Amino acid sequence: MPDIIAGLALLLVISGIAAIYHQSWTVHAIVAVIALALAIYASATGAMLKGRIKGSSTDVFWLHRRIGVSLGAFVLGSIIYGIWIRLQHADPILSSVHGRLGLIILIGMVLQIVPSLVKKDRTAYRGLHMVLGYLLPAILVIDSAWGLHIGVLSETKYLVLAHSISGGLAALAFVWIILETMYPTEMGLGRARIASFAASLLVIAGCWIAGGYNYLTDYGSNVKPAILAGGYPWAHQILMEAKEHVFIFLPIIALSLSLTIYYLDDDRFAGDRRYRRAIAEIACMALLLVLLMFLMGAIVSKAGNTGLEA
Amino acid sequence: MREPATFLASAAFTIFTTGCTIIAHELSADLRGLLVAVTGHHWLSVSALAAALFVTSSLLLAGSESIRRTLKAEDIALWSRVLMAVTMFMTLGCLMVYTIHYISG
Q: Which residues of A touch B39 (CB under 8 A)?
A: none
Give, in order, the Cα–Cα distances in Å from A152 to each of A145, A156, A302, A306, A307. Answer: 10, 10, 5, 9, 12
- In angstroms, what is the C-alpha Rg of chain B? 16
Smallest Cβ–Cβ distance between B54 and the set A237, A246, A252 belongs to: A252
CA distance B68 to chain A (A): 15
| Residue among B18, B23, B47 with most chain A CBs within 10 A, to mutate | B47
The Cα–Cα gap between A264 and A191 comes to 13
Q: Which residues of B touch A216 (CB under 8 A)?
A: 41, 43-44
Label residue B1 by pLDDT band (50, 70, 90): low
Those residues whose C-beta lies under 8 Å from the C-beta of residue A189, and which sit 6 or more positions away, are A180, A261, A264, A266, A269, A270
The Cα–Cα gap between A178 and A283 comes to 6
Does pLDDT of B52 surpass 90?
Answer: yes
Pairwise CB contact (< 8 Å): A285 & B84: yes
- Look at domain A1-154 and name its CATH class: mainly alpha
Predicted confidence at residue A1, as pLDDT, reads 65
The domain of B62 spans 5-103
Does pLDDT of B71 surpass 90?
Answer: no
* Nearest alpha carbon to residue A176 among A220, A141, A212: A141
Residues in chain A, pLDDT under 70 = 1-2, 18-19, 21-23, 56-57, 154, 310
Smallest Cβ–Cβ distance between A248 and the set B18, B41, B83 belongs to: B18
Contacts made by residues B38-42, CB under 8 angstroms, sequence distance 24+: B41/A216
The Cα–Cα gap between A22 and A88 comes to 8
Predicted confidence at residue A22, as pLDDT, reads 64
Smallest Cβ–Cβ distance between B102 and the set A238, A260, A263 belongs to: A238
Predicted confidence at residue A189, as pLDDT, reads 92
Q: Is A282 on the interface with B (CB under 8 A)?
A: yes
CA distance B41 to chain A (A): 8
Average of per-residue pLDDT across B60-65: 88
Smallest Cβ–Cβ distance between A216 and the set B22, B26, B41 belongs to: B41
Q: Is A285 on the interface with B (CB under 8 A)?
A: yes
Instruction: Please give the mean pLDDT across all residues of chain A.
Output: 86
Pairwise CB contact (< 8 Å): B14 & A238: no
ipTM for this model: 0.95
Give, in order, the Cα–Cα distances in Å from A26 to each of A34, A49, A147, A213. Answer: 12, 35, 10, 29
Number of domains into which chain B is organized: 1
The Cα–Cα gap between A57 and A62 comes to 10
Average of per-residue pLDDT across B89-93: 95
B→A interface, C-beta within 8 Å: 2-5, 7-8, 10-11, 14-15, 18-19, 22, 26, 41, 43-44, 46-47, 50-51, 54, 58, 76-77, 79-81, 83-84, 87-88, 90-91, 94-95, 98-99, 101-102
